[in-house]
Structure 1
Amino acid sequence: MNASIPQPIQFAPANSPLPLRATPFEWRDPASLPARRWVYGRHLIRRFTSVTVAPGGVGKSSLTICEALAMVSGKKLLGDEIPAPLRVWILNLEDPRDELERRIAATMLHHSISPEAVVGRLFVDSGRERGLCTATQGREGVHINVPEVEALVAEIEARQIDVLIVDPFVSSHRVNENDNGAIDLVAKEWGRVAERCNCAIDLVHHTRKLGGEEASSENSRGAVALLGAARSARVLNRMNDAQKADAGVADDPLTYFSVERDKANLAPPGKRVWRRMVSVNLANGDSVGVTESWEWPDDFDGISVKDLLSVQNAIQAAWGAGSPPRASNQAKSAWAGLIVADVLGLDANRDKARISRMLKTWIGTGALREVQHEDAKRNKRPCLEVGEWATV
């Protein structure tokens, strides 16, 4: 435990509760209050538990391994803030050690992390070798496994662990995961561990079956009490086919997924960020998936004001030729987007969603405007004309 950090509240021994007393509130100047001690972005914070929720096979274990290596090395591998190099303990309760070693080695190679950067800071254990059971449930109710919890606390303190990652949460206890009362006891015990050890704890959890629908943290499997006890929860979702088409990666075999912090009691909810899994070949012949940061393409990447002016000139010319460009992308050969594609060298079919968003933006800025125009049959059709001309 770091001596420079304010000592957490004291807990009484088991079966010996502290006296119950009402404590008068005393005003303190907010400037004198200790700041929240975030250790990774706005997801992990000392003395609290956080939850990472994801459907199976999205990449949550690879993500947390990459984040662990970012924390121990002090490098912002995925762009999240890290105050200083930390000590991280990965308790993976599903995979064998050699698989964990493959994933860690591949991530280190891909992100150029030297072995020296993790020595004495990264701790990894497999549930195949030694499981973890913090609580059990029987006819007499739920029982916290005090010797197990005390052993966990002792090891966290002995190793001065800053962040503990438990993957998956369901394998860390033996209670009915649909029992809110039982899960509440287990989750709050994890909170007490975080408090006692002055560390951050990330509990990795599965979603229930969603039938292809996008998940939120509230779609986590089992009782909702786990989320109630967490101070931050984030959800991972695989990029669907429509999103891949919009992003221009429809033909890319790589896995893309989003990370969104949709429950945040101690910070504003975070915006959706994107990650992708890339294959890294190891010297033993294995190919291993590794998480890396990925930015959603900017619709106007590479597009200049001069390009906008060229589009405006082409739209003006279409009106002069008696072929007013239609606003709707359902207009087939008359759609204004065909002019945009021709001028900017885009594919009107493959880039249809992007072009539609560009036109919407230009309408919003006043560079184009929508007007009603009578066609040959005197039917009014929404068309686009030049609004405020671009200035190069």
Structure 2
Amino acid sequence: MRAAVTPILAPDPDAMRRQLEHVFHGDLDGAHDGLVELAWNDPRTGALSAAELFGTDHIDELVDRAVALNRTPGVNVYVGAALRRPQAARNRRASDADFLAASCIWADVDTDVVAPAIAACKRRGAPPTMTVVTGRHPHLRAQMWWRLDAPCRDTAQLRRICAAVAAAIGGDPSVLNPGRVLRLGGSVAWPTKDGRVLERTEVHVPRDGRPAEYLLERIARAFAPEPAPLLSKSPETSEASSPVSAASRADGGLAIGSLSVEAAVAAVRRGDHWHDHVVRLVAHWVARGWSDAEILATAEGLTLPGWTHDETRRDLARMIAGARRKWSIPNPVHEVGEDAGPPPIEVGWVQRLDAAMIPRRRWLLGRSLLRGHLTVEVAPPGAGKSTLAIAQAVAIATGREITGQAVHETAKTWVWNNEDDGDELRRRLAAVLQHWSIQIEEIRGRVALNSGADRALMVARAAKDGSAMRTPDVDALVERIRAEAIGLLVVDPFAEVHAVEENDNARIREVAALFREVARRGDCAVLLIHHTSKPATASSDAFAGNQNAARGASSLTGVARIVQTLFAMSPRDAEKLGVVEHERRLWVRLDDAKANLSLIQGEASWFKRVGVVIANGDEVGVLVPGDPGPPQSAVSDEETEAAVIAEIDRAWRVKEPYGTHPLCGERFYGRSLPRRLGRPTSVVSAAVERLMARGAIEDAVFDSRNSKKGLRPVPLDERKRPSGSESSEGDA
């Protein structure tokens, strides 16, 4: 009788492939030539010293190799968390120096806290896009992965964010270096530690409506603001245990994790976990931008009985150093000066004026966007204001005159849309690039898109007295604009970035002045996208070029130096331009409503909506500058006059002549004749006026019973000779 044999688990190549495709397929933004590291251990010594590197287009070969290796008892297989440089050696382990790009953020939860870690991710609004269960005995263990919309190439930033995630969810704080390898999902985990059993790892890619990928900034914001829950740690490991960054300052610093500053200080003074609470306070103060001196000044209030102030200061100094070292936040220098009040008022007498030495205005685009100044664009919903704003940003970033306006200076641009999600913004950008054949290389690092769905921009809130209270976002905007040398900031829409009464002129003036401050301090143009007042569907005949079309308080357009309106083509516009009804809805007009720094343009700029099918199959609209009327040179005046006479003759003979007064309704020649001939109203009306002046057509009675009149051609022999002429030319 044969003895019973426990079958050995087999690797799961499908699960391996599912993990590798999630991490290394799709849009890698130019990093497709990177290499994927497959590493394995020596079953005799356990040393993880062997590796082979594969191209991103050779995933199947990697899986076959991993399966073959993993079938050998004791051989565990691992995959590099990030792509390696194409120049890295393909037959040995890679190092941190071989890092090329990371398409994911990762965390390894090897202790029995997987369930709380998952809950923490959901609570922060950033559940992982993939989870690899690396074992279930003696407790659940897992890797968590967050796919990024674009790879991260900054190793310092990658380390900071991976560390922040690990600290927030209880992950292994050492699993964050760019050369890290992690157990490959679907492989057999041969046990090497006490208490472990033979298991096959699992790969789970949820399809429950969570994002398929994240912006790197969103991961940073989701995990950086709150420090990790207090754990029982030694002083060495608890120092600066919570990640901090510029993003963590946006909440005003009123709370530290689940504790308020006041509660943390109270706990310190009670002696309740003194070290842990002081570490959290120091991390919070460092994040808030406090200097070392300011933090050390709190030593007296944090000293417990039996200890000296000097001892507290030494502890604080160690914590400060640890926080600054770990999160790369330098010690700021703050200057304290006397508040002498405003300077005295002086009369600025003009002694000389050298006009040639006055700096020129720094226009970016046409006569609408100017460095140091605020522009407001007013439009009803659906007019295409957000689409046009992205096109304007691309025009300035690339120097391409895709909006029909001259690009005077190329610059980096930043679009912050508080209304639409990131995917929608990227769809619109993709459509603009595709329609105008603009390569991603032309805008990489030059066009930025932020969505309020990920992190809302809020520059002012209402104080108890109703006044506009500025938020830290104002200074943060200026700081980022200066640091990145951004030339244009687009804020869309204005109503979503403040929380004050929009019909209060005084309050809206305060909010608008904040954006004017951003423009001046940031030396950039600021474009505010704003809605029209109700009814939003009002005809452009009354609102085009009218700054009073803006919704809410009029003080917004008072602060702005430039105001423009964007409206759909009205029926009257279509009639004048000879545009048929189904084409009319495709056209929008951009008009100057206020131009304090240039001449106001009397003519509208026209754009046509064009559908673009982008690579994912979605149809997205773009606005293309154009002229909705037929070319003026296509038909001569003589040809137009001949067509007018022929049509007037036809209508007279069938006893349905054209009337000469608007009260004639549909018989009025200015309304119906252009439509009949398919030509612009202005062209046809001018032809009628010339023919009547020459006596070629006249207003005559065609119904003697009620004295109704209408236009008729005048035969040559009945025409009056113009005074002072020996002869008159005939008309066709």
TM-score (norm 1): 0.81
Superimposed CA distance per residue, residues 123-181 of structure 1 (whole angstroms, 9 cap, x where no aligned partner): 11111112112111121443543532111111000010111000011121221111111
Is 1:94 the equivalent of 2:419? yes
Separation in 2 of the partners of 1:272 and 1:206? 19
Q: Summarize the Cα distance change of 1:243–1:123 in structure 2 as closer, same or farther, 3 Å threshold.
A: same
Is the 2:413–2:447 Cα contact (8 Å) retained in structure 1? yes
Match of 2:610 in 1: 278
Is the 2:630–2:680 Cα contact (8 Å) retained in structure 1? no
The residue type equivalent to 2:607 in the other structure is: R
**In the TM superposition, what are the counterparts of 1:86-165 in structure 2 within 5 Å?**
86-145=411-470, 147-165=472-490
Match of 1:296 in 2: 628
Tell me the SS of whatever aligns to 1:181: helix
Match of 1:20 in 2: 344
Superimposed CA distance per residue, residues 166-217 of structure 1 (whole angstroms, 9 cap, x where no aligned partner): 0011121221111111111111121111111111100111112126423333
Is the 1:94–1:168 Cα contact (8 Å) retained in structure 2? yes
Separation in 2 of the partners of 1:179 and 1:278? 39
Is the 1:312–1:389 Cα contact (8 Å) retained in structure 2? no
Is the 1:49–1:201 Cα contact (8 Å) retained in structure 2? yes
Aligned counterpart in structure 2 of residue 263 of structure 1, from 579, 594, 597: 594
RCO greater where, 1 or 2, for CA within 8 Å and sep 6 or more? 1
Separation in 1 of the partners of 2:338 and 2:582? 58
Is the 1:136–1:175 Cα contact (8 Å) retained in structure 2? yes
Superimposed CA distance per residue, residues 271-317 of structure 1 (whole angstroms, 9 cap, x where no aligned partner): 21211221111221211111111212147452125525745885999
Shift, 1:110, TM fit: 0.6
Q: Summarize the Cα distance change of 1:208–1:390 in structure 2 as closer, same or farther, 3 Å threshold.
A: farther
**In the TM superposition, what are the counterparts of 1:155-194 in structure 2 within 5 Å?**
155-194=480-519
Please report the RMSD computed on the Cα atoms of aligned residues, expressed in angstroms: 3.8
Tell me the SS of whatever aligns to 1:124: strand
Tell me the SS of whatever aligns to 2:489: strand
The residue type equivalent to 1:267 in the other structure is: S
Superimposed CA distance per residue, residues 301-360 of structure 1 (whole angstroms, 9 cap, x where no aligned partner): 521255257458859999xx9x9x76638989x9989xxxxxxxxx96843684754342
Separation in 2 of the partners of 1:280 and 1:60? 17
Match of 1:343 in 2: none
Match of 1:237 in 2: 567
**In the TM superposition, what are the counterparts of 1:1-392 in structure 2 within 5 Å?**
17-26=341-350, 27-145=352-470, 147-210=472-535, 212-214=537-539, 215=543, 216-244=546-574, 246=576, 247-252=578-583, 255-270=586-601, 271-298=603-630, 300-305=632-637, 307-308=639-640, 310-311=642-643, 328=660, 350-351=675-676, 354=679, 357-365=682-690, 368-369=694-695, 371-373=698-700, 377=704, 381=709, 383=711, 389=729
Is the 2:374–2:526 Cα contact (8 Å) retained in structure 1? yes
Superimposed CA distance per residue, residues 1-59 of structure 1 (whole angstroms, 9 cap, x where no aligned partner): xxxxxxxxxxx999875313224232413333222221111111111101011111111
Q: Summarize the Cα distance change of 1:308–1:91 in structure 2 as closer, same or farther, 3 Å threshold.
A: closer
Separation in 2 of the partners of 1:14 and 1:77? 51
Separation in 1 of the partners of 2:669 and 2:535? 39
Separation in 2 of the partners of 1:17 and 1:172? 31
The residue type equivalent to 1:95 in the other structure is: D
Tell me the SS of whatever aligns to 1:116: helix
Is the 2:645–2:713 Cα contact (8 Å) retained in structure 1? no
Q: Summarize the Cα distance change of 1:103–1:28 in structure 2 as closer, same or farther, 3 Å threshold.
A: same
Q: Summarize the Cα distance change of 1:331–1:260 in structure 2 as closer, same or farther, 3 Å threshold.
A: closer
Is the 2:674–2:680 Cα contact (8 Å) retained in structure 1? no
Q: Summarize the Cα distance change of 1:359–1:288 in structure 2 as closer, same or farther, 3 Å threshold.
A: closer
Tell me the SS of whatever aligns to 1:162: strand
Is the 2:398–2:442 Cα contact (8 Å) retained in structure 1? yes
Is the 2:508–2:553 Cα contact (8 Å) retained in structure 1? yes
Is the 1:54–1:205 Cα contact (8 Å) retained in structure 2? yes
Larger deviation, residues 153-162 vs 245-254: 245-254
Shift, 1:66, TM fit: 1.0
Is the 1:88–1:162 Cα contact (8 Å) retained in structure 2? yes
Match of 2:179 in 1: none
Is the 1:315–1:336 Cα contact (8 Å) retained in structure 2? no
The residue type equivalent to 1:304 in the other structure is: S
Q: Summarize the Cα distance change of 1:17–1:130 in structure 2 as closer, same or farther, 3 Å threshold.
A: farther
Tell me the SS of whatever aligns to 1:56: coil
Match of 1:344 in 2: none
Is the 2:547–2:565 Cα contact (8 Å) retained in structure 1? yes
* Larger Cα-atom Rg: 2
Separation in 2 of the partners of 1:14 and 1:187? 29
TM-score (norm 2): 0.46
Tell me the SS of whatever aligns to 2:512: helix
The residue type equivalent to 1:217 in the other structure is: Q
Separation in 1 of the partners of 2:338 and 2:581? 57
The residue type equivalent to 2:594 in the other structure is: K
Larger deviation, residues 62-71 vs 291-300: 291-300
Tell me the SS of whatever aligns to 2:685: helix
Is the 1:372–1:380 Cα contact (8 Å) retained in structure 2? no
**Structure 1 unmatched runs, 5+:** 1-11, 338-346
Separation in 1 of the partners of 2:586 and 2:644? 38
Larger deviation, residues 172-181 vs 23-32: 23-32
Separation in 2 of the partners of 1:274 and 1:187? 28
Aligned positions, number: 372
Separation in 1 of the partners of 2:419 and 2:634? 45
The residue type equivalent to 1:257 in the other structure is: V
Q: Summarize the Cα distance change of 1:203–1:304 in structure 2 as closer, same or farther, 3 Å threshold.
A: same
Shift, 1:389, TM fit: 4.8
Match of 2:301 in 1: none
Tell me the SS of whatever aligns to 1:276: strand
Q: Summarize the Cα distance change of 1:293–1:373 in structure 2 as closer, same or farther, 3 Å threshold.
A: same
Match of 2:288 in 1: none
Superimposed CA distance per residue, residues 200-240 of structure 1 (whole angstroms, 9 cap, x where no aligned partner): 10011111212642333312111111111000111111123
Larger deviation, residues 38-47 vs 379-388: 379-388
Is the 1:248–1:351 Cα contact (8 Å) retained in structure 2? no
Separation in 2 of the partners of 1:31 and 1:328? 56
